[in-house]
Structure 1
Amino acid sequence: MINGVHMVIYTRDAEADRAFFRDVLGYPQVDAGHGWLIFKAPPAELAMHPAEGAPSHEVMLMCDDVEATVAELRKQDVEFTRPIRDERWGRVTSFRLPGGSELSLYEPLHPRAHDL
């Protein structure tokens, strides 16, 4: 039986992004060998959305208060690439990882599946 989800972020600078998740976000981790860190993720949800173009995947980190979380991360020099915007389903912004990719951060306004 399936018992979890393993997410992979492909990056130009894996070492810097690993340090970000370890030092800035404070995610617990295990070393799978040779410094290859695998992080414990917070509770997760999985949703399917229709695609107008090619199918793709997205990683979005959730929080209870997006404004407070943005303020906390800015103190650690995290670069936000989009202003907070209100959507029907939540309040969302994006930030850049050291390796160059972006992650979305959002405060859901819908019921959370991970609370089940």
Structure 2
Amino acid sequence: MFNGAHVILYTHDAEADRAFIRDKLGFAHVEAGHGWLIFKLPPAELAVHPTGDAPQHELFLMCDDLEHTLARLAEHDVEVSQSPTDRGWGLLAAVRLPSGAELPLYEPHHPVAHGLSP
């Protein structure tokens, strides 16, 4: 029924953030015209959490080894804006996009769903 998910990051400097995702993170992409790059994402999963606040959505890039990922990104002069912390359910860190926004990185300690068959 569904064949994928389309994630949108709203940012104050879309051109710089697109270049960062293309050049620093190395994500494959297609050109949709007029400088619009659409990036191929790794496999994904969806979680639904309760909140007492206004509903919101978050994006985390998952990795098998957060420390190794951060070391590789440092080789490309990527700024770590949030050092790794163990939250029990996983390790969480963040890198800074050129626009100033943070992009969270996540090494789960729980079973992941993204490799399951439909």
Q: Match of 1:101? A: 101
Matches within 5 A, 1:1-116: 1-116=1-116
Which string of whole-angstrom CA distances, capped at 9 and with x for unpartnered residues, describes residues 35-76 of structure 1? 110001010011011113111111100111000111111121
Q: Which amino acid is 2:13 matched to?
A: D
Structure 1 segments of 4+ aligned residues over 3 angstroms from their partners:
none
Distance in 2 (alpha carbons) for counterparts of 1:6 and 1:75: 29
Instruction: State the distance in 2 between where 1:7 and 1:107 align.
Output: 20
| Matched letter for residue 108 of structure 2 | P
Percent of paired sites with the same residue: 60
| Residue identity opposite 2:57 in structure 1 | H
Q: Which amino acid aligns with 1:61?
A: L
**Gaps spanning 5+ residues in structure 1: where?**
none
Q: CA deviation at 1:4?
A: 1.1
Q: Which stretch has the larger CA shift, 63-72 or 76-85? A: 76-85
Deviations for 1:75-101, whole angstroms, at most 9, x for unmatched residues?
A: 211111211111121111111111121
What letter corresponds to residue 112 of structure 1 in structure 2? V
TM-score by length of 2: 0.94
Q: Structure 2: where are the runs of 5+ without partners? A: none
One-letter identity of the residue aligned with 2:109: L
